[in-house]
A = this chain, B = another copy of it.
Amino acid sequence: MAEVHETPHHSDDVQQHLREVQAALARHKVVEELVHRQEMPKHELVENLVHKQHLAELATRLDKLHPADIAYILEALPLDERLEVWDLVKAERDGEILLEVSDAVRESLIETMDQAELVAAAEQLDADELADLAPDLPKQVMEDVYLGLDAEAREQLRAAMSYPEDSVGALMDFDMVTVREDVSLEAVLRYLRRFDELPDHTDLLFVIDRKERLRGVLPVGRLLINDPDVVVSDIMLTEHLTLEPGDSADEAAMAFERYDLVSAPVVDSHHRLLGRLTVASVLDFVRESSEAELLGQAGLKEEEDIFAPIVDSVKNRWRWLAINLVTAFIASRVIGAFEGSIQKLVALAALMPIVAGIGGNSGNQTITMIVRAIAMGQVAAEHGKRLFRKEIGVALFNGIVWGGLLGLAAILLYRDIKLGMVLTAAMTLNLLLAAFMGVAIPMTLMRFGKDPAVGSSVLITAVTDSGGFLIFLGLATLILL
């Protein structure tokens, strides 16, 4: 995409843009309030003009901004102001901006657009961009857009939409420069001069044969440092990372990080060049998946529009709360089973949350570390025994030190040596349980080919809560009563 927009000179500038837009909106609002509240019919005309002038100024300002910056501003504005700004954005820029905003904000914008506006916005986009937007567009809109595409774009769109979300196919684009291997660099340079612009991130030219099969890649750097007489095949690289559309985006991203790539070719099973993956898509993917993981850990299904209506927030969060309610209820029934013991020794009620809580924290540490290591590909099934040994060692140490300390505190508080000893023993046992499950849960999920990041934390907390209460109250009942 040609960037004719004002790219900020400095990374703070986008904050500056936001403040300016907010100030312009505020001015506009003051005028509007004057018109509406004070009802000055005489001045109405004048103020209406002032008002229109403010909006026109704002529109001009927005025209100059990069689509990503407008997206940023839209995300940072509450719904009413967001829609006001959205109305001021030129229709032909709607598509590129919709691509940049977060899912939740995109939804709020699409809701306000009619069929014709959406079709017009979508028609501005490339096939791979369209594929990203497609799930959020009404079906009728996509059908209209599809009919307007040429055969190649239809094929690309169909291909891009057919790959699962976390695959290379879903992230690749089709913008690239291809050359033949038997031509001189001189010819390549002449060929490039016929372009109006090169696709973004063109650090490689792709060398293909007549059947579109990838023969190698020609780094632009090599094109520049070599003599124009040299032939492409003499300096092209044949050993270079080549992806297939079905490859996992996560592994591709790690390869980009490891080898510091800017772009990589994507080929089909016959080694025909389909498209390419660029570091820009990889960077977006890495950011988005780590965001999703952070949100997922707190049980948020997706990034929330912080200005979303209450009902949207409730929908985004209810699943996790429901699951936790069930696990909390189970833990509560475990306690319920020992009500007799608690009645006899009420100190148990005060001490039991400590056993459960510390177990949960420690288990979460273990599981987080192992889930991370699995994600980085550092854990193999045969490491299980070694990991168990280590975590159990850590748990024993912590149980004796922290559990001992707490036991001492309990003895001092309740003047009951046996109670303190039971507390220490229960804490150690619950830490051992946490360590064991902290290794076993992700390793088992991995063995069954499931993503260990999903739900690990709920599971471990459920185990250490109910387990902690059971161990502590059970031991106390056996030994103290």
Q: List, in ascending order, chain B residues with CB within 8 A of A241's CB.
A: 7-11
**Is A34 an interface position by the 8 A CB rule?**
no
Q: List, in ascending order, chain B residues with CB within 8 A of A202's CB.
A: 221
Tell me whether A283 and B286 are in contact (CB under 8 A): yes
CA distance A239 to B279 in the complex (A): 22
Tell me whether A370 and B335 are in contact (CB under 8 A): no
Choice from B10, B14, B350 contacting A258 with Cβ under 8 Å: B14
Q: List, in ascending order, chain B residues with CB within 8 A of A405's CB.
A: 325
**Is A447 an interface position by the 8 A CB rule?**
no
Choice from B12, B297, B349, B469 contacting A339 with Cβ under 8 Å: B349
Choice from B243, B297, B310 contacting A397 with Cβ under 8 Å: B310
Tell me whether A339 and B329 are in contact (CB under 8 A): no
Complex interface: stretch among A85-93, A157-165, A380-388: A380-388
Choice from B22, B252, B306 contacting A370 with Cβ under 8 Å: B306
Closest residue of chain B to A201 (Cβ to Cβ) is: B262
A window 1-55: CB within 8 A of B = 3, 6-12, 14-15, 18, 22
Choice from B287, B352, B356, B378 contacting A286 with Cβ under 8 Å: B287
**Is A72 an interface position by the 8 A CB rule?**
yes
Task: Name, among A194, A300, A469, the residue most crowded by chain B CB atoms within 10 Å (CB to CB).
Answer: A300
Tell me whether A193 and B262 are in contact (CB under 8 A): no
**Is A284 an interface position by the 8 A CB rule?**
yes
**Is A148 an interface position by the 8 A CB rule?**
no
Tell me whether A350 and B361 are in contact (CB under 8 A): no
By DSSP majority rule, is chain A's interface helix, strand, loop, or mixed? helix
CA distance A222 to B196 in the complex (A): 9
Tell me whether A387 and B225 are in contact (CB under 8 A): no
Closest residue of chain B to A308 (Cβ to Cβ) is: B390
CA distance A353 to B357 in the complex (A): 10
Q: List, in ascending order, chain B residues with CB within 8 A of A280's CB.
A: 257, 260
- A260 → chain B closest CB, angstroms: 4
**Complex A-B: 28 CB contacts under 8 Å:** A6-B239, A10-B242, A14-B377, A69-B258, A72-B377, A76-B378, A193-B224, A193-B225, A195-B225, A198-B224, A257-B280, A262-B279, A283-B283, A286-B287, A294-B372, A295-B369, A297-B368, A298-B367, A298-B369, A313-B394, A317-B365, A320-B365, A321-B361, A321-B362, A324-B358, A325-B405, A335-B353, A342-B346
Residues of A within 8 A of B (CB): 3, 6-12, 14-15, 18, 22, 66, 68-69, 72, 75-76, 78, 100, 189, 192-198, 200-203, 220-222, 224-227, 239-244, 247-248, 251-252, 254-260, 262, 278-280, 282-284, 286-287, 290-291, 293-295, 297-300, 303-304, 306-308, 310, 313-314, 317-318, 320-322, 324-325, 328-329, 331-333, 335-336, 339, 342-343, 346-354, 356-358, 361-362, 364-365, 367-370, 372-373, 376-380, 383, 386-387, 390, 393-394, 397-398, 402, 405-406, 409, 413, 465, 469
- Which 8 residue pairs are nearest across A and B when measured between Cβ atoms? A290-B290, A298-B368, A68-B258, A198-B221, A349-B349, A260-B280, A335-B350, A310-B393
